[in-house]
Structure 1
């Protein structure tokens, strides 16, 4: 216990140094930024390419180190109810193990451990934790159940270099003051782009038989200050299961220990009585100021520093299908959109959308937007809009829902439900860098943005929402 506290205190110390460096406007004090070695490209978003590229003026490209580990939770296909808390604790421990290993490898020139030794130790620890997860999944006294995962295939991790090249010349004058190499632990200047350079997107037309209405729940901007670093969907029963701070609107009680019954009994910030829970990682300005959670789990304890921004607006809207009517969502349906580990997992489940007010026909997936003066930053989460018709959740929290196909129809075996779109806006001070909270090794990359939803509407209210959507009305 003392050793873990010491490791976390090192992370907090380096984060404070990083924040101070921002005030000086320099990138030379970066603790984990380093010259990229062979095997990392100039700016690949963390993809190994087997070659190096020159940076500005012929200098070597710069990069930051991260750890890429197989996502055990994504491999789960069935978790019996009695095993859920044990599995949840195991998954959270895997995250903590990666964070501690990342801390050791990126501790700075004087304190960094040899990567090979750290990775070997991490592999052994992960194998043990995965083994305990399998033990909790056993269907009898001897044999693992069908949901068991393979420790040998999932325990090994590798260090990777993530490009931190400077922004292109067209955006250089607008780029936040991050210095040439960015901020220790992310983001870098390469993570920002002028929204006016983003490609335009075309809207999808509605066919005959489609549903064109909308239903909106007005739930405020978290004026009551409901924050915690829990994630009741992914790691129920575990405090700080997210390792980053979540912003909540709607249900007033949501935390790691929430149940269907407690959510249904709680109050809500929504004016129509909708008790659904909506949450997402907070956005912070990297202004060098100490936040109230600078030493707390989910905050500085996990490498998330800076001032938390309160949204200027939050819109929670349900939309229809362009090709069919929608059916009501079941109560207590849980949906996650996006991937908090997209930097190391890849973008298969990524669903980040960043833009600016007045420019929302342009969306950025892997960049933070540089907005024109007076335009708020916009985060948009368009959730999966097809449901399997049976389950309110799944072992990996993904396979019970799906996105519609490009033509708007649902995959075989799925039916269309009202599509939730969370839209959050922020008044970000001009020229000041900002970033979303993340797991430490995800480097605060914009592609890791994600949203969460638990439907706690009453059947009457969900019926009203479905009727509005199918009837082409605005409610």
Structure 2
């Protein structure tokens, strides 16, 4: 009798549990690429030699410097990014930026670092964005409420095998592939998503970090061709070192820029980065850009510290 009465209750509990799991999966479909883009396991291990480094404090975009421009890839073209970027550093950075305007601006960074550092915003996709009907936002498929970073770390590393040369002023760099989805996650894909409680592991998918801080990390190339501050692809003038840290032939080591952005994501809320609409907000499309506008004397100080600390 007691067992018979408990059976419907057990069945009801099972149904409720199934509904909760199903609802959670649906809730996390924050992108058109689906819930399978969210993972709890960080399946890749960070590797590489330890190197001396210098941190430049630039804040976490408390000024809310956002725009849908791309001064590196689409200079002179307003809304040329087709998604919204978040900036720290140079307060004037936008589509109209020139070397001269960047040098004349103010900055959020210490030590007169006028450089600009930027990447796509992260959004809570179950909310309504301030730019729901604007270019770079909802008009380009990037819906949701922009989530403010908890932290931004700007770190320059030395070389594990040699001294580094100063970066030329107004050097322009990109890391990652904003078209990684269309390019079948090809060789330019460098998205690194992680959690603060597992600092040596990462994934190219959206991590479910629980109570830990969600991290996005960007490593830039550090082997310069010795002549150019930009190139047609925005990549060939500065490439990545070989295994072990040695630069390829006919390139020269410069400081390696590493940017880490942290977020406190509310439990259970779906999230996604901005992307080109055809890239479906795939987490592997994460990328970042940089324009070095650090005064030459400040760059010389940074390089001197890195080289003395080897």
TM-score clears 0.5: yes
1:269-348 to 2 correspondences below 5 Å:
269-287=108-126, 289-346=127-184, 347-348=186-187
- Of residues 249, 258, 267, the one that matches 2:97 is 258
TM-score (norm 1): 0.59
The corresponding residue for 2:6 is none
The answer to whether structure 1 residue 412 and structure 2 residue 249 are counterparts is yes
Give a deviation string over 1:45-84, Cα, whole Å, max 9, x none.
xxxxxxxxxxxxxxxxxxxxxxxxxxxxxxxxxxxxxxxx
Question: After the TM superposition, which segments of 4 or more aligned residues of structure 1 sit over 6 Å from their partners?
Answer: 173-176
The corresponding residue for 1:200 is 45
Unaligned runs of 5+ in 1: 1-172, 207-211
**1:174 CA drift (Å):** 8.6
RMSD: 1.8
Alpha-carbon distance between aligned partners in 1 of 2:22 and 2:156, rounded to the nearest angstrom: 35
Q: Is the alpha carbon distance of 1:216 and 1:174 closer, same or farther for their aligned partners in structure 2, counting shifts above 3 Å?
A: farther
**1:200 CA drift (Å):** 3.3
SS in 1 for 2:297: helix
- Of residues 169, 183, 186, the one that matches 2:32 is 186
Alpha-carbon distance between aligned partners in 1 of 2:178 and 2:113, rounded to the nearest angstrom: 26
Alpha-carbon distance between aligned partners in 1 of 2:117 and 2:23, rounded to the nearest angstrom: 30
Give a deviation string over 1:425-473, Cα, whole Å, max 9, x none.
0000111111000000100001000010000000000001101111118
Alpha-carbon distance between aligned partners in 1 of 2:22 and 2:219, rounded to the nearest angstrom: 27
1:436-455 to 2 correspondences below 5 Å:
436-455=273-292
Q: Is the alpha carbon distance of 1:470 and 1:313 closer, same or farther for their aligned partners in structure 2, counting shifts above 3 Å?
A: same
Contact 1:176 1:189 in 2 (8 A): no
The corresponding residue for 1:384 is 221
Report the count of equivalent residues. Answer: 290
Q: Is the alpha carbon distance of 1:404 and 1:292 closer, same or farther for their aligned partners in structure 2, counting shifts above 3 Å?
A: same
TM-score (norm 2): 0.89
SS in 1 for 2:73: coil
- Of residues 354, 368, 380, the one that matches 2:193 is 354
Contact 2:28 2:270 in 1 (8 A): no
**1:271 CA drift (Å):** 2.1
Contact 2:28 2:269 in 1 (8 A): no
Q: Looking at secondary structure, tell me which structure has more strand per residue.
A: 2
Give a deviation string over 1:317-350, Cα, whole Å, max 9, x none.
0001111111100000000000100111232111
